[in-house]
Structure 1
Amino acid sequence: MDETESTYLKHCRKVVYMGHCQFLVTNHPVQKKGKHLKQKADHRTKPKHRNGKSMFAMVKNLKVVFGANLQRAKMATWRCIYGKSKDTLEARNDIKHMEQRDVLHSEPIEKGSHYLSPASYTLSKKEKEIMFECLESIKVPSRYSSNIKSIISTKDKKFINLKSHDYHVLMTQLLPVITRGFLADNVRATTTKLCVFLNAISQKIIDLDSLAALQEDVVQCLVSFELIFPLSFFNIMTHILCHVVKEIDIIDPVYLHNMFPFERYMDVLKKYVRNRSRPEASIAKGNGTEEGKGTLGRRAIMTTDNDLFRKVHFTVLQQSSLVAPYIEEHQAIVRSENIGKSDAWITCYHIDTFPAWLRQHLMGNETIDRQLAFLARGPSCSVSTFQGYEINGYTFYTRAKDKKSTNQNNDVRINAIRYDSTTSMYYGVIDNIWELDYGPLKVPLFRCQWIDDSGSSVVGPMV
Structure 2
Amino acid sequence: MHIKKNVVDNIIGTLLNIDSKSKDNLQACLDLKEMGLRPELHPIPKASDKTYLPPASFTMSYMEKDDLLRIIKNVKMPDGYASNVSCCVKPQKRTIKGMKSHDGHILMQQLLPIALRKSISKKVAESLIELSTFFREICSKTLRVEDLNRLESRIPNILCQLEMIFSPGFFTIMVHLTVHLVAESKLGGPVHYRWMYPVKRYLHRLKFHVRNKAAPEGSISKGYLLEELLTFCSH
Task: With the length of structure 2 as denominator, give the TM-score of the two structures.
Answer: 0.86
Distance (Å, rounded) in 1 between the aligned partners of 2:9 and 2:66: 20
Decide which of 271, 281, 286 is 2:225's aligned counterpart. 281
Inter-CA distance 74–288: structure 2 relative to 1 (3 Å threshold)? farther
Distance 1:288 1:135 in 2: 39
- Structure 1 match to 2:18: 81
Please list the CA deviations of residues 58-84 of structure 1 after superposition, one character each: whole Å capped at 9, or x if unmatched: xxxxxxxx9x82111111111353321
Q: 1:180, 1:188 within 8 Å by CA — same for their partners in 2?
A: yes
Q: Name the count of aligned residue pairs.
A: 225
Query: 1:91, CA displacement in angstroms?
Result: 0.3
C-alpha change, 1:102 and 1:141, in structure 2 (3 Å) is same
Gaps of 5+ in 2: 212-217
RMSD of aligned residue pairs (Cα, Å) = 2.5
Q: Within 5 A, what are the aligned runs for 1:162-311?
A: 162-268=99-205, 276=219, 278-285=222-229
Matches within 5 A, 1:265-414: 265-268=202-205, 276=219, 278-285=222-229
- What's the counterpart of residue 76 of structure 2? 139
- Aligned-partner residue type, residue 282 of structure 1: L
1:100 aligns with 2:44: no
The residue identity in structure 1 corresponding to 2:166 is F
Given the superposition, is the C-alpha separation of residues 283 and 272 from structure 1 closer, same or farther in structure 2, using an over 3 Å criterion?
farther
- Could you tell me whether the CA contact under 8 Å between 2:89 and 2:96 is conserved in 1? yes
Mark the CA change 1:283 to 1:216 in structure 2 (over 3 Å): closer, same or farther: farther
Aligned-residue offset at 1:146: 2.3
For 2:154 and 2:226, the matched residues in 1 are separated by 47
Q: Counterparts in 2 of 1:19-34, with a 5 A limit? A: none
Cα distance 1:142–1:271, how it changes in 2: closer, same or farther (>3 A)?
farther
Cα-to-partner distance string for 1:102-138 (whole Å, 9 max, x where unaligned): 1111111111211111111111111011112222221
User: Contact conserved, 1:272 with 1:286, CA < 8 A, in 2?
Assistant: no
- Larger strand fraction of residues: 1
How far apart are residue 162 of structure 1 and its match? Answer: 1.2
TM-score by length of 1: 0.45
Aligned to 1:114: 51
Identity %: 32
Q: Which amino acid aligns with 1:241?
A: T
Deviations along 1:350-374, whole A, 9 cap, x unmatched?
A: xxxxxxxxxxxxxxxxxxxxxxxxx
SS in 2 for 1:240: helix
2:30 counterpart letter in structure 1: N
**Match of 2:214?**
none
Tell me the equivalent position of 1:343.
none
Q: In structure 2, how many angstroms separate the alpha carbons of the residues matched to 1:207 and 1:288?
A: 42
User: Take 2:197 and 2:95, find their aligned partners in 1: how far apart are those partners?
Assistant: 23
Q: Which runs of 5+ in 1 are unaligned?
A: 1-65, 294-439, 441-463
Kindly indicate whether structure 1 or structure 2 has the higher relative contact order, using CA contacts under 8 Å at least 6 residues apart: 2
* More deviation, 132-141/238-247: 132-141
Task: Note if contact 2:131-2:158 (Cα within 8 Å) is conserved in structure 1.
Answer: yes
Q: CA deviation at 1:273?
A: 8.8
Structure having the higher helix fraction is 2
Q: Tell me: CA distance 1:287–1:217, structure 2 relative to 1, closer, same or farther (3 Å).
A: farther
Distance 2:231 2:143 in 1: 30
Q: Is the 8 A contact 2:65 2:119 kept in 1?
A: no
Moved more, 254-263 or 189-198: 254-263
